[in-house]
Structure 1
Amino acid sequence: MTGFSPEWLALREPADGAARNRDVLSATSRLFENKDAINVLDLGSGSGSNLRALAAHLPLHQKWALVDYDCDLIKAARTALSGWANEAAYVGESLSLQKDGRVIDVAFLQADLSANLNEVLDGPADLVTAAAFFDLVSTDWIERFVRGLAARKLPLYAVLTYNGEESWKPAHPSDATVNAAFNLHQRTDKGFGPAAGPAAAGVLAAALRENGYEVVLGDSPWRLTSADHLLFEPLVAGIAAAAGQTGKVAPEVLQAWRNAHRSPTACVIGHTDLLAIPPR
């Protein structure tokens, strides 16, 4: 799975950070509050934003394995994490970071999660995480992933899963039509078979519960304002391009929709955060 540029991931990171559901985050932190150390496996890690958002809520000693298929994103993660840390040093191909009293060792793994999921899950882990990931994979892949997770009795913290909700201010008459086409596109194959798209959080939660997990869910919408103007142009362009590829919206309608949302006053893009706790 490829297609997300480091520039786009950097642009959306502040919105992602503001959107994270604080109750789900706190529940995740409490799982490990009596631990001195933790191993974290981050799937579809991109430029490492999940580590940057979560590190302060986990024990003082952390070992992260960042897994992505895109070598350019792995390179971007090395650069971004080195700049984020108070101190950073390479240990072979890994990074040793110090950040606000925490020691964080980071390994990078280039892997195809559609083909090599079990090998990745076999690595040392106390927690599996993913951000903006599960809406890109298929229902079959989610079910296979959950079976592997349950076999290893691992908890899961999955955030910012797109749930299909979208609203704009000021509104435009084509908002519902464009959103429906975009959501249809979200179900196309992203490298894991037909994607679960907006249904992903529900599919994931149901599969986890079927395997005995306790599941905590919380909304994590982007709530964008005019202050987020740098994000609007690529966001609107991306939604329009995806909707256009479905053939469900006439080009002139899409152009009118894009023009109407060049400088919106507000926008809400829905996401869902999830914590899954394995049975004892």
Structure 2
Amino acid sequence: MGFSAEWLSLREPADRAARDEALARQAAMAAGPNPLVVDLGCGTGATWRALAPYFPSEARWRFIDNDPALLAEAGRVAGGNADLVEADLGQMNTVPLDGASLVTASALLDLMPEAWVANLAGRLNVPFYATLNYDGRMSWDPEHQDDAAVTAAFNLHQVGDKGIGPALGPHSVTRTMALFEAAGFTVLRADSAWVLGPDMAPLQRELTDGIAQAAAEAGARDTAASWGGHRHARADRTQCRIGHIDILALPSGNLQESTHVLR
């Protein structure tokens, strides 16, 4: 399970535009005055680039990823403000969360199994801010007769095993909220849908190519192939909306304390 630096760079402007700013500010406030932010699956540091303006300049980060090349790039852009940890997120019990005052993740939860999220909720007694979680909704303007069928096949593919167990896919938001609420957190949510116009045609093409491939693997081969060709050819004349949700899970107690602990 992993993503190329090229894909992460291509999607970052859409991610930045989609993030809910009010929830981001609330996450930064919840981290307290001397934050240590642990970013799970940091990639090239997109979460740092999006959130750093909300934190004091002395805020510390711990970037965690299983790809050393992505980690190196994240460390380069963050300078001396981040520690780099190469770790397998699938082995959650070994991921270092000690000292964290905020744990973050972007476009990650829909790839993870429910047991992984339950483990995380059980370990944390600090705020958890997870953004850009795919929620199963997709639409295009103009429409195509196979949009619904391809979306259904893609969503089926998304709950397959990504290497560590069946993924939550489009159910990641509802299940994560329920698991963190059961662990005593108050969970807030905000819409963070991608809205991609013709000006983002390169991203649309990469996105719909990937959707078509996944839908084909889920059994809609002929439909997905014709749909994917149609969407690729018309990306510069199309607007699409891909549903995402940001969530912020807040533990009980004083969220402004500078020292936080793990359960």
In structure 2, the CA distance between the partners of 1:220 and 1:122, relative to structure 1 (3 Å rule), is: closer
Structure 2 distance, partners of 1:74, 1:162, is: 24
Partner of 2:139: 167
Map 1:2-151 onto structure 2 (within 5 A).
2=2, 4-32=3-31, 35=33, 37-79=34-76, 81=77, 95-96=79-80, 105-115=81-91, 117-149=92-124
Structure 2 distance, partners of 1:274, 1:147, is: 17
The one-letter code matched in structure 2 to 1:15 is: A
RCO greater where, 1 or 2, for CA within 8 Å and sep 6 or more?
2
**What stretches of structure 2 of length at least 5 have no aligned partner?**
254-263
Identical positions, percent: 40
- 1:254-276 Cα shifts (integer Å, max 9, x gaps): 22212321224200000010111
- The answer to whether the 8 A contact 2:75-2:83 is kept is no
Partner of 1:101: none
Map 1:208-247 onto structure 2 (within 5 A).
208-247=180-219
Partner of 1:254: 224
**Alpha-carbon shift at residue 200 of structure 1 (Å):** 0.5
Structure 2 distance, partners of 1:271, 1:51, is: 19
Poorly superposed stretches of 4+, deviation over 3 Å? none
One of 149, 157, 161 as aligned partner of 1:185: 157
Aligned residues: 250
**What stretches of structure 1 of length at least 5 have no aligned partner?**
83-94, 97-104
Structure 2 distance, partners of 1:192, 1:148, is: 19
When the two structures are superposed, what TM-score results if normalisation uses the length of structure 1?
0.85
Structure 2 distance, partners of 1:160, 1:168, is: 19
The one-letter code matched in structure 2 to 1:77 is: A
- The answer to whether the 8 A contact 1:121-1:148 is kept is no
- The answer to whether the 8 A contact 2:195-2:240 is kept is yes
When the two structures are superposed, what TM-score results if normalisation uses the length of structure 2?
0.91
One of 259, 263, 267 as aligned partner of 2:240: 267
- The answer to whether the 8 A contact 2:104-2:128 is kept is yes
Structure (1 or 2) with the greater strand fraction: 1
Name the SS of the counterpart of 2:208 in structure 1: helix
The one-letter code matched in structure 2 to 1:78 is: G
**Alpha-carbon shift at residue 76 of structure 1 (Å):** 3.1
**Alpha-carbon shift at residue 233 of structure 1 (Å):** 1.3
**Alpha-carbon shift at residue 14 of structure 1 (Å):** 0.2
**Alpha-carbon shift at residue 114 of structure 1 (Å):** 1.5
- 1:9-53 Cα shifts (integer Å, max 9, x gaps): 000000000000122113213324x61x21000001111100100
- The answer to whether the 8 A contact 1:40-1:127 is kept is yes
Structure 1 distance, partners of 2:144, 2:73, is: 37
Partner of 2:261: none
The one-letter code matched in structure 1 to 2:243 is: G
- 1:77-98 Cα shifts (integer Å, max 9, x gaps): 234x16xxxxxxxxxxxx41xx
**Alpha-carbon shift at residue 60 of structure 1 (Å):** 2.6
In structure 2, the CA distance between the partners of 1:232 and 1:154, relative to structure 1 (3 Å rule), is: same
**Alpha-carbon shift at residue 170 of structure 1 (Å):** 0.8
- 1:219-257 Cα shifts (integer Å, max 9, x gaps): 10000100101211111110011111111x132x22221
Aligned Cα root-mean-square deviation (Å): 1.4
Counterpart check, 1:195 vs 2:167:
yes
Structure 2 distance, partners of 1:272, 1:236, is: 20
Partner of 1:89: none
- The answer to whether the 8 A contact 2:42-2:105 is kept is yes
Structure 1 distance, partners of 2:130, 2:97, is: 19
